[in-house]
Chain A
Amino acid sequence: GQQVMQIPQYQHVQEGEDFTTYCNSSTTLSNIQWYKQRPGGHPVFLIQLVKSGEVKKQKRLTFQFGEAKKNSSLHITATQTTDVGTYFCAAPRSNFGNEKLTFGTGTRLTIIP
């Protein structure tokens, strides 16, 4: 079955430093989604990437989808304490979505003030 791995599992950074999490799939993905889960909270949808090589930005967050559509990354520039949480990539099986999401293993980001 489809497997989605993320590295690193944990990342501790000083406030103001950059942060990157990487997502790798065993199979070619139709699209990839990213979610953020605050401590004690629920997953919140951030973005979806569909096209090979696609790059999208949300303020300090930059999302990339690999050329082969088997990997993706999320980069946060100049982290703030509000960035604390676990970042998950997630992959549905088709571009229509509405099917099960396979979540990655997640990267837990903690910020040292």
Chain B
Amino acid sequence: EPEVTQTPSHQVTQMGQEVILRCVPISNHLYFYWYRQILGQKVEFLVSFYNNEISEKSEIFDDQFSVERPDGSNFTLKIRSTKLEDSAMYFCASSESRDRGHYGYTFGSGTRLTVV
């Protein structure tokens, strides 16, 4: 079964440092997302991406965050200057095209970001 692949599985970074979280969505999916989950809490939407641009972003997704699809397969989330409160599990997800209806999102296994 197709998978969404995320790397690294765990990232530890110093406060103020930049991090890039990487994702390879399912190849025929056109819609890509980043969500985050602080330990023990619910899954929160960060940003959605379609046709090489952001289609929607949440209040969490401020100027410190950016997304990119640099080469047609990878989908990256960059946090420019990490804060302690950015510590969370970050999930990438993708979904099928609009024309095929909606079959749910496929989530990657996540990157646990720890800011120290």
Say if the beta carbon of B104 comes within 8 Å of chain A: yes
Interface size class of A (residues with CB under 8 A): 20 to 34
Contact call B105/A101, Cβ cutoff below 8 A: yes
Say if the beta carbon of A104 comes within 8 Å of chain B: yes
The interface residues of chain B lying within 8 Å CB-to-CB of A43 are 43, 91, 105, 107
Contact call A48/B48, Cβ cutoff below 8 A: no
Number of interface residues of B (CB under 8 A): 26
Say if the beta carbon of B108 comes within 8 Å of chain A: yes
Say if the beta carbon of A31 comes within 8 Å of chain B: yes
Residues of A whose CB lies within 8 Å of any CB of B are: 31, 33, 35, 37, 41-48, 88, 90, 92, 95-106
Q: Which 9 A-B pairs have the closest CB atoms?
A: A97-B102, A45-B104, A100-B45, A103-B43, A42-B107, A98-B31, A43-B107, A103-B42, A42-B109
Q: Can you name 18 A-B pairs with beta carbons within 8 Å? A: A33-B104, A37-B43, A42-B91, A43-B43, A43-B105, A45-B103, A45-B106, A48-B103, A48-B104, A88-B42, A92-B102, A95-B102, A97-B101, A98-B95, A98-B102, A100-B56, A101-B105, A104-B42
